[in-house]
Structure 1
Amino acid sequence: MKIVYMCAYPEISKGGDSRVAWELARYMAGNTDNDVWMVCPDKDYGIKKDNIEPNLSVYTIKSTEVIEGVNIFSPNVRRIQHIDRIFDELKPDIVHAHSIDPLSFVVQAWCIKNAIPFVYTGHLLATKYDEWQSFNLGPALQSIISVSIDVYTKQYYKNCSKIICLNEFARDDFEEFTQEPEKLFVIPNGHIFKETPKNITLNDDTYRLLFSGYLSERKNQLFLIKMMKHINTDKKVELLLAGTFLTEKYEREVMEAIKELPENREVKLLGYVEHEKLLEMYSDIHYFVSAALAEVQSLAVIESLASGTPVIALENTTTTELVKNDYNGHLLDVNSTPEELAQVVSRYLDFTQEEYEKMSEGAKESVQFLEYSKIAKRYIDFYNDLIVHPIDKEKRRIEIKEITNFFKTEHVGTKRNKYGNSMFLVIISSVVTIALAVIGIANRVKKDE
């Protein structure tokens, strides 16, 4: 079986979608007999072997670099025909995308024309997609972007053969958005387990708490900082925040909150931490703490548990699925206060070493079902079933002219120069144009029907 994975990034980036896409492709290439490829935007066309997994072939598609490491494919007739020729040569049995970018939309059209299954993994909740963007918009533009993203994602999901949801909560969300329950299938993120020795005891002079992720309102690190003031211990407590700020406003709020902490409470802003380094950090962390308001399936929580680091958190879709009180951590109601979270953290910091080690083992055990060999088998069965029972033969073809109309806009490079490399304006401008074009296509589809 030839499997083509697609990702918007030519290497693992800061987001979870890129990590899952590349890790899955590498695992499948290195541990199964399938012919596995990764197709992604980059600075030029090219074929190469992956620098980490030599059995993985990588096909890069020339795209416009918006900022360092982020390339956007800008479709026109010539480029679309070139993509068609590339996939005619690749002859995949199945295509599995992890981003709803223009390149994968073009490939959707090729898949529909050739009756090849196209699968998408939803790393964001479908109904919340517009709210997860890190854009700082005025009220008028915000309403347009909300509608445009809604229309665009519905069209994209309509073009999919199947949509992978990471848990049942995500499945319910996608069903509400797409109204196509038969298209949805649940397979969680896999995890590559590596032994992480715990080099700590609860007799340490300093307690270390960790949260990793973008610093933003949705991740809710301010809640954790406020919680620090109320932890009941005479020992020093450090809160390590690994990640970069999405907005200057939130950065200012965080810095002000840090100033209010007493001397024996310290917040360390680590910035972006490379993944391998982050995994090493768990050996010296007592607890992973989270007040994130919305997640689909947090890789950070999974990695924490896999390392034997218990998780103390507010309820969200990930923590509710994975965390059980006194077994691998503790779960609080989403409406809890920082004081209430601090009370729970204080109680767990007062555990005996034996109690802590038992809970650390429980953390490791709780995510064993996500071990990659088990997830890979589920994917192989899923892919084989789609290939044996194709479901796209009756789908309406998307012609090249439609695609060019859909993406008829200034070249991305022109926008980049016009707006001085402002990613915000580049993407917003593109999304608005896409949305208006989608509405036109949707109207034409209705007439055809």
Structure 2
Amino acid sequence: MSMEYHISSNIDLIIHLYSSSSPPPSPNGCTSDYESSKPCDVIKYYVTAWSLEQTSPIFSRIISPSPRFKQPSKISYLGKEDCKLITLEDDEPLALSIVLNLLHFNSKSLPSIEGISWNTFYDIAVIWDKYDISNIIVPPWLRHFRKNMNSVGYEDWLFIGKTFQEEEGYVDLTARLIIEAGQNLSGREAIEAGPGGVGFTRHGKYIDASGWPDPVRDHITSENSDLMERLRSILTSWNLSFKGKRPLNLCTCHSSVPRYNRHSSLSDRIVELLSNESMVVSQRAHLPTTSNGGTRFASRLRDIGGAGNWQWNGSIVTLRRRMAILRDCMGDIDMRQVKHMLENADIYDLCPLEESALRVLYDFDQTIETIKGIGIDGKIVDVPLHRLIEDVKKEPWNSKGGGKKWDGLAMLGIRISGIFAVLYVLVFAIALGKGWGVKLVANGVAT
């Protein structure tokens, strides 16, 4: 006996679904006097045509096509002579039954909020998109899954959010994926992904991006590649500036033992950051080719090592985390102070090594200070990094004030000195203008 779903009591339309997947586990077991000659793998849905036609233009054209097209068959069912029969293909059976119950407002026949899986909800969105169903009807599980949208494994919210026009958090999710997308596929994982695979790794898990909207996937790919190229350029140029020598050779603080020792530690951290051990050798030979329509993150490899042609295959977030070893050496100064120190390197008596480290940190953080996300409408929106990485707001390095006490005092001293210099010039100019200097000499005050 074929599997059946009785969706409506006012039946004037029967749907036959042909699918290679298994039938849903718990259909409504109802028999009928309608004997089908269809194969046993057919799944039947008994519905009201009006409910489908009012909510979906695609269903409307299938059920009531233009007269010049072939009309649906009419059959007799439970004494009704004019029941229409349509066939559908390749829809997920359980998801289709849930969608049909939604369109008939059968709330009692719907799964509970916790009783539906993420995969089933995704299948519902696929059917929603396929038949262009009106978003006047809102699936009750939307809010439940929205709270998980930023978690690993829920990246297909990019498709679901666009399908149901859910704008909340969408831009931030795209920006988050730009900085969290990495590529550390082993040869086995790359082969399993398949030659048509479109995806990347995120926190060690392979994420399939083939179902995302094309403009969204292309934007994430492009922005990720552009940012990584700019960061690669910063680190590569810095690495080349050492000319194959130890970074400590740039230090000019030999006369100050404490500073030299501090910069020696800084030099070791730089070597650790740029060392071959921190990079991953290219695995291009293991990666499948891709088409232009779905650029694969897995094929995006970056040179950072220069001479050794080493590759950085991790995410921007991971690379930023590695940069923390430099931040620790520079203290808890904030970026505003760093900018001031770089603009006044002579006043702060920065040695070339210290200045180069501050410059790299500043350029690195400025590059990723804002990430360009994309909305469901295709609009590009700047997203501050602190909205994507919670720790950024707590780091002294990124705070708007504070910093080391002595750095603050140094800046205050520079400002006070500047004010006194300006006042001195003004007083001297006024004195000359009023001829005070001439009068003092005439009275014998000047010597």
TM over 0.5: no
Per the normalisation by structure 1, the TM-score is: 0.26
Looking at CA atoms only, which structure, 1 or 2, has the larger radius of gyration? 2
Give the number of the structure whose residues are more often strand, by fraction: 1
